[in-house]
């Protein structure tokens, strides 16, 4: 159990990670690389940059497949590492040509390994999906608004006006597309149901007794079957490599501590520099980027919370006044200590919200579908639960999900209606300024 | 009209949403295609992919022995029948002139090229109806075009190959039956044709059987433009395709090789000698004689030719007509043997053994992975050390953490906000009892505490964001990461009826749509209302804009308000 074995195991895992299209990593990873990085040798710096870039792109499900220059790759890595909150300032000052800093890179890499559970995420990401999945993701995903491109900036100098009818037509197109999508989804449901129903009895799992559509396809199409078998084999090799790495992991972390202390010794003075001098020049080269959405959201939320606070403050004052009046008028008949406070259902509500949030923490992005036609919701286990079943012991029923989704849908509908109401009020204001025009809203359907 | 920047933002938002929808739809369509394939009848024992219409590949080498046996049986039967029929027709085997009955509406003045020939063997007039039958079946829709009587070599060759191809494909369309028959027809004519030489070499291959027969039934003396050839080829291919469905794979390979011939023909306006050579090289020795005829057709006033052709055609037609039914029967029974529906026998399916082995291994390994516990001490101490060595002024939360917690804070805020606005106790305007007032005071106090703690958190976030922004990380990576629980394997979801599944999907779709719609609504309200506010002086055009904005913002773009000019004098 030497450090070399541990690093070799890590390298094996890394090498086996496949990208989106089955592309393997383009970097030559070896234990030598790590060893040289410890001593801050410069030959391996570019390799480390490339490695980090590739891994982070995979983890962030970054679909862009453009091949970037080394400088762009370095920028990307720095941005992501900053996003996760890495705190060594000299990392961000590493040169953009990849000539220095292998030790910093290896530290950042190890930090990321733990911070975002890099290997585990990557293993799960490209896991072979054999069952039929449905996506139940309910988190608010916003459409990415592209920042203003160069061509747009040009156009804004002589602005071309757009007709509102164009927007209306786009909106209509969107509605049409949605209807198509809906019908396609419903068709998928019925197809899956049929397949599950017809293949009852030839199970491949202990929890349910039918084939999934993918499995049925494997029987139909032998070529695909061999492909899948190969993929599965590859995954198994990956998993074995990962288990080996897990066994040897403690040695690696011990070794990393030595790397860290070496670094701290060398750069003791530099670390606690006033951060304003650390305005990373590489970052400031960036073009005028818009404030990201997250920041805007935070600011908005902040203002709203402040508003709410002041309102609560006012109301409290009013209530205080009233209570004092009542007390004065009533004299001392009822002491405050006798006031029986009814169950404060605000507490309940807050508790419910907290529970909902923690439940939402267990929100399921994807679920595997399985047909079970029986009355009892609890799955029937004929064998004692093995380790396998422990994993899949978290199972849901469609009825649960339906109620959850219904609740979410009603909330969202209400929100949308509120927004529409707000707009109506705004438009009503505008209408007042228009002389002689009456607006008759359409009849409610 | 809308000014550019806002409009562009909105339009790009809408375009993104449309793209997203279309992308999802496309993925679904792909999936649905494979599902439909599964649900149709298919063959679970096939080692190769089932052949598509007209696009077969040469995979006949893999035909199972079962199929070959079947086919052999069929061929033997047809052979026997052919022999029987030949016996009966031998006596009436005469030649009469073969008018190029290539179409119903052509006049063929220059048929003389082939001449009306009297053949020593009297042809019965029974030939004619057969020929009509043949012409109808073969040449439907094609026009005759006769080149000049002087059939030059090229034309003749075109004809030859063209007609041959026609015959080829038509023959194929009629099924296997014709093959054997024609071979026999050819063989029977051997003595008559022995005068002609065989200029070409032959190539023996699998395709022999079918080609021989068709060539044997060769060509009438009519010329066809390549365009017609093409249409004929397409027609014939279609017919062959329909026969393909009967499931005879061995035949298909032969079909394929022969189908390529029409295409090569169609692509040339005038064939030269080489082409005809190539085509004819695929023909067997017996049929070579006939092709030789074809080649020399223009040179001969061909009593001989016409006779052969008449014989061939007649026999083929007759036999093919009679055999077609038989073939159909055979093929349908074969079909029943081979095809399989998921509906009928889905429960008898078995996954391949290698797959099952790998799956077992896979499941076992995943179990080990999730059960593995590492020694956390070293890990934790490294992280501690490195975090403590970080810059002292680093904010305690990173952008990632901010994003994670922002949604929670928002939820709590909304909850409290809603409560404060709607709770009965807090909002009743009339005087309440002392108790109630106290209670409401308590509630307000509680709200205030929560809100203050939230504000504290938010302030922390704002400071952190300022730091990060100054630091230059305003370019947050375009994360599309779903914040859902993605660590372990996806859980199982059990449903019991189709209705449940559909409802669940419908609701999820609704949720997603509503989320999008809310985002679009907010963006539109942000951008469009100020425009209206600011452009109030121009009253004429604003009513259109007003109407459009109203419908978009308040009715989801589905209905319009009515704007009425109130200019009735008071």
Condensed to tens digits (0 to 9), the pLDDT of residues B12-43 reads 889 999 999 999 999 999 999 988 888 888 77
pLDDT at B68: 76
Q: Which of A216-225, A335-344, B517-526 has the lowest mean pLDDT?
A: A335-344
Chain B environment of A159 (Cβ under 8 Å): 3-5
Chain A environment of B392 (Cβ under 8 Å): 272
In the 8-state DSSP scheme, what is residue A339?
P
pLDDT at A211: 80
Chain B environment of A337 (Cβ under 8 Å): none
Chain A environment of B35 (Cβ under 8 Å): 188, 191-192, 195, 213
Minimal C-alpha gap between A146 and chain B (Å): 8
State the residue for tokens 């890499």.
A109
3-state SS, B363-398, equals HHHHHHHHHCCCCHHHHHHHHHHHHHCCCCCCCCCC
3-state SS assignment for residue A134: strand
More confident residue, A40 or A155: A40
Question: In the predicted model, is pLDDT for residue B180 greater than 80?
Answer: no
Q: How far is CA A314 from CA A193, B412, B456, in A?
A: 57, 20, 20
DSSP H helices, A17-148, are 31-38, 45-59, 70-83, 89-92, 102-115, 118-125
- For helices A345-361 and B434-471, the axis angle rounded to 10 degrees is 30
> Burial of A103 by CB count in 10 Å (0-12 exposed, 13-18 middle, 19+ buried)?
buried
More confident residue, A273 or A161: A161
Q: How far is CA B238 from CA B58, B102, B228, B234, B244, in A?
A: 19, 20, 15, 6, 10
Residue B123 φ/ψ, nearest 5 degrees: -90, 135
More confident residue, B413 or B314: B413
The complex scores an ipTM of: 0.76
Chain A environment of B431 (Cβ under 8 Å): 322
Total CB pairs under 8 A between chain A and B: 650
End-to-end CA distance of chain A: 74
Q: Could you report the per-residue pLDDT of B436-478, keeping only the tens digit for each?
A: 777 778 778 888 888 899 899 899 888 888 887 776 654 555 5
Q: Could you report the per-residue pLDDT of B240-277, keeping only the tens digit for each?
A: 444 444 434 444 444 444 444 444 443 444 434 444 44
- For helices B177-188 and B303-338, the axis angle rounded to 10 degrees is 150
Q: Which of B71-80, B496-505, B510-519 has the lowest mean pLDDT?
A: B71-80
State the residue for tokens 């040897």.
A248
pLDDT at B357: 86
Tokens of B514: 């509503």
Q: Could you report the per-residue pLDDT of A68-91, keeping only the tens digit for each?
A: 788 888 888 888 888 888 888 888
Task: Give the domain ranges of chain A.
Answer: 3-128+229-285, 133-139+163-227, 293-362+397-431
pLDDT at B504: 92
CA-based torsion, A5, A7, A12, A13: positive or negative: positive
User: CA-to-CA distance for A212 and A215, rounded, in angstroms?
Assistant: 5
Chain A environment of B49 (Cβ under 8 Å): 221, 223
Tokens of A2: 């030497």
Question: In the predicted model, is pLDDT for residue B208 greater than 60?
Answer: no
- Angle (CA) A201-A204-A206 rounded to 5° is 90
To test the contact with chain A by mutation, choose from B8, B340, B386 the residue with the greatest count of A C-beta atoms within 10 A, namely B386
pLDDT at A387: 35
3-state SS assignment for residue A144: coil
Q: Which percentage of chain B shows pLDDT scores above 90?
A: 6
Q: Are B374 and A249 in contact (CB under 8 A)?
A: yes
Q: Could you report the per-residue pLDDT of B123-178, keeping only the tens digit for each?
A: 444 444 444 444 454 444 344 443 333 344 444 344 444 444 444 444 444 444 44
Query: Does the CB of B497 have a partner CB in chain A at under 8 Å?
Result: yes
Q: What is the dihedral of CA B481, B486, B491, B495, to 10 degrees?
A: -10
Whether residue A60 and residue B509 make contact (CB cut-off 8 A), yes or no, is no
Query: Does the CB of B201 have a partner CB in chain A at under 8 Å?
Result: no
Question: In the predicted model, is pLDDT for residue B408 greater than 60?
Answer: yes
User: CA-to-CA distance for B389 and B382, rounded, in angstroms?
Assistant: 11
Chain A environment of B378 (Cβ under 8 Å): 249-250, 253-254, 257
Query: Does the CB of B55 have a partner CB in chain A at under 8 Å?
Result: no
3-state SS assignment for residue A405: helix
Whether residue A438 and residue B28 make contact (CB cut-off 8 A), yes or no, is no
State the residue for tokens 């070293």.
B378
Query: Does the CB of B35 have a partner CB in chain A at under 8 Å?
Result: yes
Residue B67 φ/ψ, nearest 5 degrees: -60, -45
Whether residue B529 and residue A83 make contact (CB cut-off 8 A), yes or no, is no
Max Cα-Cα span within chain A: 91
Q: Could you report the per-residue pLDDT of A330-382, keeping only the tens digit for each?
A: 765 554 544 444 445 667 766 776 666 655 545 566 777 888 775 443 333 33
Q: Using DSSP bridges, classify how beta strands B562-565 and A395-397 pair: parallel, antiparallel or unpaired.
A: unpaired
Question: In the predicted model, is pLDDT for residue A185 greater than 90?
Answer: yes
Whether residue B508 and residue A134 make contact (CB cut-off 8 A), yes or no, is yes
Whether residue A194 and residue B392 make contact (CB cut-off 8 A), yes or no, is no
Q: Which percentage of chain B shows pLDDT scores above 70?
A: 44
Tokens of B443: 């509630």
Minimal C-alpha gap between A382 and chain B (Å): 18
pLDDT at A319: 83
Whether residue A83 and residue B557 make contact (CB cut-off 8 A), yes or no, is no
- The neighbouring-strand residues paired with A437 are B565
């Amino acid at each position: 159990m030497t450090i070399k074995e541990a690093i070799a195991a890590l390298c094996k895992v890394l090498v086996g990670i496949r990208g989106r299209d089955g592309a393997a990593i383009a970097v030559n990873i070896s234990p030598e690389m790590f060893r040289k990085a410890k001593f801050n040798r410069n030959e391996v710096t570019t390799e480390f940059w490339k490695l980090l870039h590739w891994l982070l792109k995979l983890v962030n499900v970054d679909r862009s497949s453009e091949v970037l220059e080394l400088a762009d790759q370095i920028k990307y890595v720095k941005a992501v590492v900053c996003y996760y909150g890495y705190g060594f300032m000299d990392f961000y000052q590493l040169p953009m040509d990849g000539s220095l800093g292998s030790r910093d890179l290896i530290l950042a890499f190890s930090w990321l390994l733990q911070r975002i559970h890099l290997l585990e995420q990557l293993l799960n990401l490209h896991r072979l999906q054999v069952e039929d999945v449905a996506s139940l993701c309910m988190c608010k995903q916003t459409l990415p608004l592209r920042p203003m491109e160069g061509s747009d900036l040009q156009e804004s100098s002589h602005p071309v006006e757009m007709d509102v009818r164009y927007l209306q037509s786009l909106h209509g197109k969107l509605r049409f597309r949605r209807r198509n999508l809906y019908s396609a989804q419903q068709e998928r449901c019925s197809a899956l149901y049929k397949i599950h129903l017809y293949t009852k009895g030839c199970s491949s799992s202990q929890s349910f007794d039918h084939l999934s559509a993918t499995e049925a396809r494997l029987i139909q199409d032998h070529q695909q079957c061999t492909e899948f078998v190969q993929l599965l084999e590859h995954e198994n090799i990956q998993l074995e490599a990962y288990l080996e790495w897990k066994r040897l992991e403690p040695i690696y972390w011990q070794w990393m501590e030595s790397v860290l202390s070496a670094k701290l010794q060398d750069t003791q003075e530099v670390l606690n520099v006033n951060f304003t001098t650390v305005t990373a020049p590489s970052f400031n080269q960036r073009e005028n980027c818009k404030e990201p959405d997250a920041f805007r959201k935070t600011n908005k939320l902040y203002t709203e919370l402040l508003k709410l606070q002041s309102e609560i403050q006012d109301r409290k004052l009013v209530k205080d006044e009233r209570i004092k009046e009542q007390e004065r008028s009533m004299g001392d008949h009822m002491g405050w200590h006798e006031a029986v406070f009814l169950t404060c259902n605000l507490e309940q509500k807050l508790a419910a919200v907290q529970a909902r949030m923690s439940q939402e923490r267990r929100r399921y992005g994807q679920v595997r579908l399985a047909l079970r036609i029986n009355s009892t919701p609890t799955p029937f286990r004929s064998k004692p639960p093995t380790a396998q079943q422990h994993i899949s012991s978290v199972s849901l029923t469609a009825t649960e999900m339906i109620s959850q989704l219904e609740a979410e849908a009603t909330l969202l509908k209400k929100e949308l209606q509120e927004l529409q109401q707000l707009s109506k009020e705004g438009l009503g204001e505008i209408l007042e300024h228009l002389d002689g025009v009456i607006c008759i809203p359409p009849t409610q359907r | 009209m809308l000014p550019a920047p806002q409009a562009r933002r909105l339009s790009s938002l809408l375009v993104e949403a449309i793209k997203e929808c279309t992308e999802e739809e496309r993925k679904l369509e792909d999936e649905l295609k494979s599902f439909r394939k599964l649900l149709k009848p298919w063959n679970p024992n096939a080692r190769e992919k089932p052949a598509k219409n007209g696009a077969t590949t040469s995979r006949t080498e893999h035909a199972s022995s079962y199929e070959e046996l079947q086919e052999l049986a069929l061929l033997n039967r047809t052979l026997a029948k052919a022999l029987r029929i030949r016996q009966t027709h031998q006596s009436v085997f005469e030649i009469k002139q073969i008018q190029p009955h290539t179409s119903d509406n052509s006049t063929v003045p220059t048929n003389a090229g082939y001449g009306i020939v009297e053949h020593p063997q009297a042809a019965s007039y029974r030939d004619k109806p057969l020929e009509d039958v043949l012409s109808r079946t073969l040449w439907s829709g094609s026009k005759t075009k006769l080149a000049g009587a002087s059939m030059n070599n090229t034309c003749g060759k075109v004809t030859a190959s063209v007609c041959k191809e026609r015959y080829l494909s038509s023959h194929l369309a009629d099924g296997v039956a014709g093959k054997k028959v024609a071979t026999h027809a050819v063989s029977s004519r051997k003595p008559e044709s022995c005068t002609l030489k065989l200029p070409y070499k032959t190539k023996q291959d699998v395709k022999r059987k079918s080609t021989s027969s068709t060539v044997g039934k060769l060509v009438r003396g009519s010329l066809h433009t390549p365009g017609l050839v093409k249409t004929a080829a397409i027609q014939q291919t279609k017919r062959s395709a329909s026969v393909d469905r009967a499931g005879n794979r061995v035949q298909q390979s032969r079909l394929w090789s022969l189908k390529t011939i029409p295409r090569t023909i169609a692509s040339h306006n005038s064939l030269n000698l080489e082409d005809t050579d190539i085509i004819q090289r695929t023909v067997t020795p017996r049929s070579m004689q006939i092709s030789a005829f074809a080649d020399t057709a223009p040179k001969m006033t061909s009593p001989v030719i016409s006779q052969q052709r008449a014989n061939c055609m007649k026999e083929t037609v007759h036999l093919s007509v009679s055999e077609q039914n038989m073939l159909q029967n055979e093929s349908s029974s074969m079909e029943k043997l081979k095809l399989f529906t998921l509906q009928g026998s889905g429960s008898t399916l078995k996954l391949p053994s290698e797959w099952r082995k790998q799956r077992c291994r896979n499941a076992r390994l995943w179990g080990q992975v999730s059960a593995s516990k590492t020694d956390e001490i070293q890990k934790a101490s490294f992280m501690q050390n490195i975090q403590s060595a970080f810059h002292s002024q680093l904010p305690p939360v990173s952008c990632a953490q901010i994003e994670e917690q922002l949604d929670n804070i928002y939820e709590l805020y909304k909850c409290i906000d809603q409560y404060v606005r709607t709770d009965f106790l807090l909002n009743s305007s009339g005087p309440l009892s002392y108790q109630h007032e106290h209670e409401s005071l308590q509630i307000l106090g509680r709200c205030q505490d929560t809100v203050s703690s939230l504000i504290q958190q938010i302030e922390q976030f704002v400071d952190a964001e300022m730091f990060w922004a100054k630091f230059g990380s305003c370019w947050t990576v375009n994360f599309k990461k779903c914040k859902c629980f993605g660590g372990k394997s996806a859980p199982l979801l059990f449903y019991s009826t189709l209705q449940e599944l559909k409802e669940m999907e419908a609701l999820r779709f609704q949720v997603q749509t509503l989320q999008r719609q809310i985002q679009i609504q907010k963006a539109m309200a942000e951008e469009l209302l100020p425009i209206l506010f600011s452009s109030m002086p121009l009253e004429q055009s604003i009513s259109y804009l007003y109407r459009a904005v109203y419908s978009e913002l308040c009715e989801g773009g589905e209905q319009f308000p009515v704007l009425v000019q109130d200019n009735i004098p008071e």
